[in-house]
């Protein structure tokens, strides 16, 4: 069951790995806030309406905070990073999220630092960098700030989601609906004030928005929040490494890109990091000599 839970949780960052290609190839440019809004609010409200489950008490505030940290803030920042940075740079910045989560888990969750998972987190960032970074990759300042901000916001959201859990009797679907709705309502006035609706939305854009709202939105977050509730938070965050790896595979399949031996080595290193980080090595205690107990051989009594 543990393996099945890990695999289903991993489907979420795999779906998110398609975001860069969808953004650059299907969506109209210059509207990251609108893209984030369509990804979150419509199906978030639909999930709340279908499940007929609303927050109670202090969960109104908690759902709003988690919605902004997990969705409302990182969604537009990710789209800005995707538009202003080469995909490799944006992906490498996002791969630092497990390291941020590892630090926050010590402070927020009072977890003991895990050298094992921290080491694999560093190895994962190196592996992703080998896969996606290209010579002469540009580092647009605003794009870098957006990429780091998205990683930090999602890391804080994951950590607080683990700390607060879910209210008793509330499943992953209504919980995801709360957070998607909260993030979308945070984005709505920003869209109206600063961006508006794209002047034209063709069939390609409509397909992109629909994919991001379903596979990359509601479905992904139901699986993701279900996994956060049951798996160690640092181990779960390492699954985010799948996102840039999937983005690289999508580029290879749809854009005709070819992996070099260095990229293949980085791919293997990143996969090893996210798999190894799901487990904690057991420590077998060394046998202790007991001088006060006489040693006897089988079949011989002293």
For the chain, domain boundaries: 2-114+135-232
pLDDT higher than threshold 50 for residue 295 = no
Contact by Cβ (8 Å): 92, 33:
no
pLDDT higher than threshold 70 for residue 302 = no
Per-residue confidence (pLDDT) for residue 86, from 0 to 100: 66
Per-residue confidence (pLDDT) for residue 170, from 0 to 100: 95
Task: Name the least confident of 15-19, 161-165, 167-171, 175-179.
Answer: 15-19
Q: By three-state DSSP, how is residue 276 classified?
A: helix
Tens digits of residue pLDDT in 41-85? 999 999 999 999 999 999 999 999 999 999 999 888 877 777 777
Per-residue confidence (pLDDT) for residue 87, from 0 to 100: 60
Any alpha helices (H) in the chain, and if so which ranges? 2-16, 19-25, 32-51, 59-67, 74-84, 87-94, 97-108, 115-132, 141-164, 172-194, 203-213, 219-230, 233-238, 242-255, 261-276
Q: Which residues of 159-184 are buried (b: 16+ CB within 10 A; e: fewer)?
A: bbbbeeebbeebebbbbbbbbbbbbb
């Amino acid at each position: 069951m543990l393996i099945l839970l890990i695999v289903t949780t991993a489907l979420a960052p795999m779906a998110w790995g398609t975001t860069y290609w969808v953004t650059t190839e299907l969506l109209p440019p210059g509207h990251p806030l609108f893209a984030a809004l369509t990804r979150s609010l419509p199906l978030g409200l639909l999930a709340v309406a279908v499940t007929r489950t609303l927050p109670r008490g202090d969960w109104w505030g908690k759902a709003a905070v988690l919605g902004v940290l997990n969705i409302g803030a990182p969604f537009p920042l990710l789209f800005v990073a995707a538009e202003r940075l080469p995909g490799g740079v944006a992906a490498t910045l996002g791969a630092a999220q497990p390291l941020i989560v590892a630090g926050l888990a010590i402070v927020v969750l009072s977890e003991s630092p895990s050298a094992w998972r921290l080491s694999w987190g560093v190895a994962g960032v190196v592996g992703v960098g080998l896969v996606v970074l290209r010579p002469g990759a540009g580092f647009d300042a605003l794009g870098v700030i957006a990429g780091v901000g998205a990683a930090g916001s999602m890391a804080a959201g994951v950590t607080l989601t683990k700390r607060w859990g879910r209210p008793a009797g509330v499943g992953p679907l209504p919980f995801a609906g709360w957070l998607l709705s909260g993030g979308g309502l945070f984005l709505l006035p920003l869209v109206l004030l600063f961006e508006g609706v794209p002047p034209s939305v063709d069939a390609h854009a409509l397909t992109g928005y629909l994919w991001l709202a379903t596979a990359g939105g509601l479905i992904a977050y139901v699986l993701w929040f279900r996994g956060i509730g049951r798996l160690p938070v640092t181990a779960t965050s390492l699954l985010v490494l799948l996102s840039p790896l999937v983005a690289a595979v999508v580029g290879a399949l749809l854009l005709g890109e070819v992996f070099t031996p260095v990229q293949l080595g980085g791919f293997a290193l990143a996969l090893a990091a996210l798999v190894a980080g799901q487990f904690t090595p057991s420590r077998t205690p060394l046998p202790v000599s007991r001088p006060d107990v006489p040693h006897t051989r089988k079949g011989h009594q002293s």
